[in-house]
Each structure stands twice: as C-alpha cells, then as structure tokens.
C-alpha cells in the first residue's frame, strides 16, 4: 500500500461563493471523504483557508495572500492509501472540487510511505 496526496487546485481563488453554496460543497466533500474512509483508505487531510495566509518570496519578501499574479490556488488536500496511482486517481475523480470548470486535483505519491504488504 502506498500513500498519495490529492491536492485541490482552484483555477480562480478570488471567486467568492455564497454561504449556501459553500454549505453544499462542504457536505459533498464530507460525503466524498467519508466514502474513502469507509474503505479504510483515508489517511489524513485538511482544508487550506485564505485567512492568515502569506507568501514568502526570494529575499524573504512577504506578501499577503498566495494569489499574486497567478490566480490559481490550492484549497486543500487529502492523503489516501492506494495500491497504485490508478487507484488514487479513481478516488480523485469523485472530488467535488472538479465540479468547477478549470479546477483540478493533482495526485502525488508520498515518499517513504510504502508498506511491504
């Protein structure tokens, strides 16, 4: 069993959704993660809110917000257990973030997390 990080990429992080819409997404996300956890394949994860965020640049220059010139942002991630990258990709396909046009989920293997079995 390996571990993969599924990173939620939002095409435009400056878009603001209504509280009702956020509520619906939250519920969908919980159901999606619950489904993975029900297969005992959930390892961890977190949302990455925009408040209290900074970007530290070369020469230690600090800016507010991760946006800068690029609009794309990372909204959160989960870590899943999977036999292969293909299995992890199948999990990623159910991610509610993908309902947004232009959004994506990046699937990356974690180093040093392989079991023998």
The minimum distance between CB 6 and other proteins, in angstroms, equals 14
CB-nearer residue toward other proteins: 33 or 105: 33
Using CB under 8 A as the binding rule, whether residue 35 contacts other proteins is answered as yes
Using CB under 8 A as the binding rule, whether residue 27 contacts other proteins is answered as yes
The minimum distance between CB 29 and other proteins, in angstroms, equals 9
Residue 104 token pair: 């994506």
Using CB under 8 A as the binding rule, whether residue 30 contacts other proteins is answered as yes
Using CB under 8 A as the binding rule, whether residue 37 contacts other proteins is answered as yes
| Burial letters 47-71, b for 16+ CB under 10 A, else e | eeeeeeeeeeeeeeeeeeeebeeee
Report whether 96 contacts 104 (CB < 8 A).
no
Identify which range of 23-31, 48-56, 65-73, 105-113 contacts other proteins by CB under 8 A.
23-31
Question: Phi/psi of residue 111, each to 5°?
Answer: -80, 140
In angstroms, the CA 95 to CA 98 distance is 6
Three-state secondary structure call for residue 1: coil
Using CB under 8 A as the binding rule, whether residue 40 contacts other proteins is answered as yes
Site residues (vs other proteins, CB under 8 A)? 27, 30-31, 33-35, 37-40, 42
């Amino acid at each position: 069993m390996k571990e993969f990080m599924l990173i939620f990429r939002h095409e435009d992080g400056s878009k603001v959704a209504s509280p009702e819409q956020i509520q619906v997404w939250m519920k969908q996300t919980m159901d999606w993660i619950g489904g993975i956890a029900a297969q005992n394949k959930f390892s961890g994860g977190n949302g990455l809110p925009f408040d209290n965020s900074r970007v530290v640049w070369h020469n230690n220059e600090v800016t507010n917000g991760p946006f800068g010139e690029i609009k794309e942002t990372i909204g959160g991630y989960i870590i899943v257990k999977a036999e292969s990258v293909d299995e992890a990709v199948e999990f990623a396909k159910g991610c509610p973030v993908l309902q947004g046009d232009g959004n994506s989920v990046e699937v990356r293997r974690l180093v040093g997390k392989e079991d023998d079995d």
